[in-house]
Every structure is written in C-alpha cells, then in structure tokens.
C-alpha cells in the first residue's frame, strides 16, 4: 500500500513540474555536411542555415502543432507536427507529419524532419536545442541531419494558429490588488469594512383612544406613479485601526529599467548565427575581415549597448572582451554592417576564445540584416 501511495505521489509531482511548450518558438536549423563536401563548404564559408518557426499546443506530456521552414516568408514549407516531452529529463521529441503548404522553386523537394531537443530556461527566456534527421516525402530517401536552435517568442513571422488565438481569448482577467491606506498621523493602516445594515422590522404604535390603549400597525401606502428619488443619508464607514506591526511585510520587486532598442536593431532583421555555451566568465573575441580587405565597416552591440562604433575590418584583429556572470547568463552580441565595402556583402570572421576552447564564426551582414551571436554562461 505504501509503495502504491509513493508511486501516486511521485506521479503527481512529476506531472506538476511539466514545462509548458504551448506558444511560438523561432530560430533556425543547420544541415551538417558530411566528409569532403563538409570540408569544402567550411572553406568556402557556406552556411546552410534555414529559419524555423514552430507553433505548439501542449496537453499533459504530448503536443501538436505546425512548423515553418523558410528562407523568407515568401518561399517556405508548412507542416503539421506532434511530439512528446519528458518533464524529468527535459527532453523533447518533435516529428513533422505532413507537408500542408509549400512555396518553393520547381526543382526542390520537400523533406520532413524529426527533432530531438532539450528544453532549458535561463534569465526568463526559454530555449529548445538539439539535433534533427530528415527524409524526402517523395521516395523516403535521406535528406541529411543537422542541428536546431529555437527560442520562445511572442509573435509569428506568419500568423498565429487558431489553437493559440483561442487560448488568448480564454485567459481570465487579472484582479486588481486591494489598496491599503495608511493614516499618516498614527502611522497605522486604515481597513475599511462595509457597514452592517439592520434588517427592517415592523414596529407597533400604541395610541390612546378614550383612555384606552389600542395597538395599531403603521399604515402602508401604495406608491403613486411619480418617481420617488431617495437621497441616501451620509453614513460614515466603520473604521478599524490595525497596528502596522501586525501586518505581513510585502516585498515589492521593482523591475529593472528596460534598455531602449537602438534604431538600427529595431529597423533591421536580426538573424541568429550561432549560440556558444561556456563555463568561462571571460570571453575573448577577435574580429577580422573574412576575405578581401575592401573597406567593410561594422558596429557591435552587446545587450543593446554600443561597444564598437564604425570599425573598419582588416586582416588585423579588432579585440573585444565580454564578461559573463550568473545574474545575467545570456548575452546577445549583434554585428551591424555600417557599409558593404567594395565587394558586397559585409563579411567578417569572429574568433572566440572561452574556457580553453576556440570557436570560429563566419558572419555575413547587410544593410537589411544584422547578425546575432548568443553567449550562454553555465557553471
């Protein structure tokens, strides 16, 4: 009996901590080239990265939804999907079921993916990261495998599915908090209570008639057709004085001041290029011109703050040091092209040294699109 109760208790706790994946997730997936082809693509700086948006509706440990794979919102593929989540391990499996809409060139084939991701939440943001495999819907041949990165967002690049818009309408309205007034003279809280109203009772009136006492009830009068407007008498509310020491202390968290988004970040598309996870608190970054030195100029923003302004890219490194900490484990670096040089687009090579590891990030930015690199600190 005890083991059954323990199993039931664990089951309740297991379900109670299930993360809710319902909502919109957006990021990208990148195909991993194999063998000689992969080495050649790395040398050429070819980055097969596609945008990826997922809209999910979770119920218990399973979910359904739709996916969008696209380079632009004009050329894309839309598929239905389903999957499961393991609350204990935070593992998520998502399987595309059927292509329902395709807009692409005539020579391209549609492929569906199966994704194996892990859920994480840091600094108030939610992420799904992992790998995928894919196959062709026409002949079931292998379409390749790769990596995927998604972040939970509030808006869609396309439109919200009905299962999301209906849930927004069904959300209950938030109740306004009760306001407690304080008497400044006594420094005590004033708690207003609704005055009690006494029930109306019928009274008897004794009138003397011929030296005899006759008990009569008050006469009832029928209301006429004229409207009777009653002015309520002013009644002072019952006031109860409560000692401030007896009240529970309420801690009010003041949200940190939001940093305004610079115009160049708000007006351009910001594309995630790479996510680097490290346990190092100090990250060293060197930025070079990736190719022919042709006058490319860049600016760099870290967490919406300008740290490098209109620097010209050359074969000599532009150094930058980034400090990570536990209070703000996720930092976003955005590279902005100030011009495209003599040979468009603006291309650069970012070499990152963190925790004894070195990463090379090839970045392409234009006057319409910024490049984003996310740094995640984990102990």
Residue 26 domain-assigned (yes or no): yes
Last residue of a domain, one of 167, 182, 198: 167
Beta bridge partners of 244: none
* 3-class SS letters over 73-88: CCCEEEEEEEEEEECC
Residues 26 and 131 in one domain: yes
Residues 142 and 272 in one domain: no
Q: According to DSSP H, which parts of the chain are helical?
A: 2-16, 35-44, 162-170, 263-266
So what's the pLDDT on residue 255? 46
Residues 157 and 279 in one domain: no
Rg (CA), the chain: 33
Rounded Cα–Cα distance for residues 150 and 155 (Å): 14
Residue 24 domain-assigned (yes or no): yes
Evaluate whether 279 touches 378 at the Cβ level (below 8 Å). yes
Residue 221 domain-assigned (yes or no): no
Count of structural domains, the chain: 2
| Token pair in block for residue 63 | 């979910």
So what's the pLDDT on residue 22? 95
pTM over 0.75? The answer is no
Evaluate whether 345 touches 339 at the Cβ level (below 8 Å). no
Tell whether omega for the bond before 347 is within 30 degrees of 0, i.e. cis. no
Residues 163 and 271 in one domain: no
Evaluate whether 301 touches 307 at the Cβ level (below 8 Å). yes
Residues 162 and 284 in one domain: no
241: how many CB neighbours lie within 10 A of its CB?
A: 10
The values of phi and psi at residue 87, to 5°, are: -65, -30
Rounded Cα–Cα distance for residues 190 and 108 (Å): 73
pLDDT tens for the chain, residues 1 to 379? 444 344 333 443 334 445 789 999 999 998 887 654 444 444 444 456 789 999 999 999 999 999 999 887 777 889 999 999 999 999 999 999 999 988 876 556 678 999 999 999 987 889 999 999 999 888 888 888 999 999 999 999 898 999 998 877 776 655 555 555 555 565 555 555 555 555 555 545 455 545 554 554 555 555 455 444 454 555 555 545 545 554 444 444 444 456 788 888 888 899 898 999 998 989 999 998 876 677 889 999 998 899 999 999 888 889 999 988 777 878 999 999 888 777 777 888 899 999 888 998 888 888 888 999 999 988 7
344: how many CB neighbours lie within 10 A of its CB?
A: 14
So what's the pLDDT on residue 254? 43
Residue 79 domain-assigned (yes or no): yes
Residues 16 and 158 in one domain: yes
Last residue of a domain, one of 133, 167, 201: 167
Last residue of a domain, one of 167, 192, 223: 167
Residue 215 domain-assigned (yes or no): no
* CATH code assigned at 134: 2.40.128.120
So what's the pLDDT on residue 345? 79
Residue 313 domain-assigned (yes or no): yes
Residue 276 domain-assigned (yes or no): yes
Residue 157 domain-assigned (yes or no): yes
Cα–chain center distance at 250: 27
Structural domain boundaries, residue 18: 2-167
């Amino acid at each position: 009996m005890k083991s059954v109760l323990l199993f039931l208790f664990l089951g309740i706790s297991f379900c109670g901590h299930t993360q809710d994946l319902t909502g919109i997730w957006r990021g990208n997936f990148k195909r991993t080239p194999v063998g000689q082809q992969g080495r050649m693509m790395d040398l050429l700086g070819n980055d097969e990265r596609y945008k990826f948006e997922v809209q999910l509706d979770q119920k218990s440990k399973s979910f359904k939804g739709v996916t969008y794979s696209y380079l632009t919102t004009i050329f894309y593929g839309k598929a239905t999907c389903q999957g499961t989540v393991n609350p204990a391990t935070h593992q998520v499996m998502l399987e595309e079921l059927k292509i329902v809409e395709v807009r692409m060139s005539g020579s391209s084939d549609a492929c569906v993916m199966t994704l194996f991701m892990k859920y994480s939440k840091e600094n108030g943001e939610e992420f799904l990261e992992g790998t995928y495999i894919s196959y062709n819907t026409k002949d079931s041949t292998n379409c390749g495998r790769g990596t995927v990165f998604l972040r939970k967002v509030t808006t869609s690049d396309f439109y919200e599915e009905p299962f999301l818009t209906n849930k927004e309408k069904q959300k209950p309205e938030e109740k306004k908090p009760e306001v407690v007034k304080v008497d400044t003279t006594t420094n005590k809280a004033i708690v207003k209570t609704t005055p009690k109203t006494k029930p109306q009772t019928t009274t008897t009136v004794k009138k003397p008639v011929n030296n005899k006492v006759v008990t009569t009830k008050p006469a009832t009068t029928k209301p006429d057709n004229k409207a009777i407007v009653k002015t309520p008498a002013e009644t002072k509310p019952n006031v109860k004085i409560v000692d401030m020491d007896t009240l529970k202390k309420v801690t009010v968290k003041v949200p940190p001041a939001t940093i305004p988004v610079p115009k160049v970040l708000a007006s351009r598309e910001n594309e995630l290029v790479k996510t680097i996870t490290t346990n190092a608190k100090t990250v060293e970054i060197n930025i070079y011109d990736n190719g022919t030195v042709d006058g490319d100029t860049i600016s760099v923003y870290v967490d919406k703050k300008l740290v490098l302004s209109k620097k010209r890219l050359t074969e000599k490194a532009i150094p930058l040091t980034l400090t990570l900490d536990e209070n703000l484990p996720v930092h976003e670096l955005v590279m902005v092209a100030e011009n495209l040089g003599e040979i468009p687009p603006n291309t650069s090579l970012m070499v990152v040294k963190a925790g004894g590891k070195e990463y090379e990030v090839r970045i392409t930015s234009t006057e319409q699109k910024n490049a984003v690199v996310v740094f995640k600190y984990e102990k």
